[in-house]
Chains A and B, each alone.
Chain A
């Protein structure tokens, strides 16, 4: 079944309108029988985007595999806050080995399942951006290249949060971290660095690559569900705000994530075998300042004497993304949107 778009106006509230949908069309989290794979009681910070993303992702994976998921976790916040010995929040078989080897350990688990004839058991390896784009990158690329039957999920909060907010190769330009201080002639992280791991994943020609955001949890669930139906190496890169590291309000986690998507700074797309197959279209792109202003890690760009040049450079990144990934509506889409709006207006009149 194709994902049905759910509009807020269906309920007139800010909930995602599940109540108007048939049971089979509802979100995994709307299901009373959801597995709560990452159970409550863990020690994540208030407003943690990673905890939210992981709960939605793993529950969706569990539903898609009839509760047959084994998870491998890289060292990092998710590992530390979920398993302070002797407690664990995981309701699924779960293993943590090292910081940089989650993809390889996942490949090993998958090999054991294959040799034991357990094709029904699915393996997920997961880690933060440090464990994925930096220290675990070799193992990740190896897993992709061998097309191991593992879904790798990267929860990207754009720095090493577990060790105290140090720069990673996923830290955006101008962002303040503990190792890209907001001092000197060019405060924050330098421009022209970093890597785009979803695009690198696509270059491995693996069956499925997607980006997702906690701003669009329905889309996230859908992408995980579809990834679970595919064999081979799969990669989902989820943008997860970190209130502590980004200096944002815990209550703004979803809004911050949404502004990243809606500004074009974090494009949502899917790719199969190296080709982009769909993207999330921005109806009205918002200026990047709407995103940056919510976070103290960019505070040095604002204030009495705003750093217009740097803000413009960040806007240029968003604009390039919009162009590169085709995030603006095509004429047909624009027409469809207009038709839809008119239909709704007529409905409202009645």
Chain B
């Protein structure tokens, strides 16, 4: 049924249609509306056969889900930002135990400085924990991916993170086709775990494993992800047969066929990017874009196939691997090994800085004009940065950068250097 609905509520409804049995909730912006929506459905009786548990931390949220999943219940939770770091130990644990938990990450920056707005630092920090990571482009896809996620998780006995850009998707009201219960039931069979905590058939789970077998367990996690590379496109195709629309899959190219320049990105920015591609095309640039939906497993072959005939590739990343640059770029470079083309990393949108179509058009123009460096920072306020670097050079003092910038402003010191930005930009 078509509805004009907030992204979070669309996700909540999709999750509810998956008949979860245990939902653990701990508030952190911007995922709160998802669990609030689910909680209301459980309390009102609309979602039956489900326990909704308010826990005391994200660490507990995932731990409760671990216990419930090990005991055979379909389990779900949602988190973001500091929350996923607080539960990091349990994130690895759920994967190591092979528990098919589905978790939404309402992507948000990580502090300090504390910041509630969108980027991908949170889920990227846990990218190698053994979970599958799917990044949604639209609210429709965010809802749909959850249905696919439960199917994939339970087939492969592996947890799945569905990454949904905070605010940009979670809080946006958009048209979403909410499937019927019959459709979801047809697509997603009931959860039947291979191994479960059962009093009639006792097993020990989570034993202490030494050097003789640990390596094999870890390899098998990798093998599951390799299997997922085959299953994700199959499940997306089956999804299309049942629900009648394209959602998910490994990668999705846009006007890539004859493109000389292709911009690669994850998540909601692909929407703006497509519009920028259209405009750039209209002015004569042969540009395309590639959305990577499955970041773990990373679809090396598909990325290679999509990019191999381009002249240059620009990887647009909402996360900065401090000290080196891009994270997605590393995967893209690996996918393109042996192919000589220009490669650029563009860090953008950190802490919710808007990635506008104008900025993207400017970026494409600089890329096609051969003006991009290897590592670029889109719309970074260089005035502020340079001034702070200069200040540090003059007077070394340990302390938080954001507050240092304010401290000088608070003293009413005259701006140093010519290119000092307006204070409003900083505060």
Q: Chain A: residues with CB nearer than 8 A to chain B?
A: 67-70, 72-73, 79-80, 83-86, 88, 90-98, 100-101, 104-116, 121, 138-139, 141-142, 145-146
In the complex, are the beta carbons of B56 and A105 less than 8 A apart? no
The verdict on B97 contacting chain A, using a C-beta distance below 8 Å, is yes
User: Do A106 and B67 contact each other (CB < 8 Å), given the known contacts A98-B89, A115-B51?
Assistant: yes
In the complex, are the beta carbons of B49 and A115 less than 8 A apart? yes
Give 19 new A-B contacts, CB below 8 A, not counting A93-B199, A112-B72, A114-B51: A67-B199, A70-B199, A72-B67, A83-B206, A83-B208, A85-B208, A93-B197, A93-B203, A94-B202, A95-B206, A96-B208, A105-B64, A111-B68, A111-B73, A116-B21, A138-B56, A139-B63, A142-B60, A146-B55
Q: Which residues of A contact B97 (CB under 8 A)?
A: 97
User: Do A115 and B21 contact each other (CB < 8 Å), given the known contacts A97-B97, A108-B71, A139-B60?
Assistant: yes
C-alpha spacing A304/B21, complex, angstroms: 65
Q: Which residues of B contact A110 (CB under 8 A)?
A: 67
In the complex, are the beta carbons of A90 and B66 less than 8 A apart? no
In the complex, are the beta carbons of B21 and A97 less than 8 A apart? no
What are 20 A-B pairs at a CB distance below 8 A? A73-B206, A93-B201, A95-B205, A96-B205, A97-B67, A100-B59, A101-B59, A101-B60, A104-B59, A104-B60, A104-B63, A105-B70, A106-B67, A108-B65, A111-B53, A112-B68, A116-B72, A116-B73, A138-B60, A139-B59
The verdict on B22 contacting chain A, using a C-beta distance below 8 Å, is yes
C-alpha spacing A93/B209, complex, angstroms: 18
C-alpha spacing A138/B201, complex, angstroms: 32
The verdict on B93 contacting chain A, using a C-beta distance below 8 Å, is yes
Q: Which residues of B contact A85 (CB under 8 A)?
A: 207-210, 213
In the complex, are the beta carbons of A70 and B90 less than 8 A apart? no
The verdict on B250 contacting chain A, using a C-beta distance below 8 Å, is no
Q: Chain B: residues with CB nearer than 8 A to chain A?
A: 21-22, 24, 49-51, 53-57, 59-60, 63-73, 75, 89-90, 93, 97, 197-199, 201-210, 213
In the complex, are the beta carbons of A69 and B199 less than 8 A apart? yes
User: Do A115 and B50 contact each other (CB < 8 Å), given the known contacts A96-B206, A108-B22, A108-B64?
Assistant: yes
In the complex, are the beta carbons of A113 and B71 less than 8 A apart? yes
C-alpha spacing A109/B72, complex, angstroms: 9
C-alpha spacing A14/B342, complex, angstroms: 85
CB distance from A141 to the nearest CB of B (A): 7
Other-chain residue from B75, B205, B208 in contact with A84 (beta carbon distance below 8 A):
B208
Q: Which residues of B contact A72 (CB under 8 A)?
A: 67
Q: Closest A-chain residue to B60, C-beta based?
A: A104
In the complex, are the beta carbons of A109 and B59 less than 8 A apart? no
Q: Which residues of A contact B21 (CB under 8 A)?
A: 112, 115-116
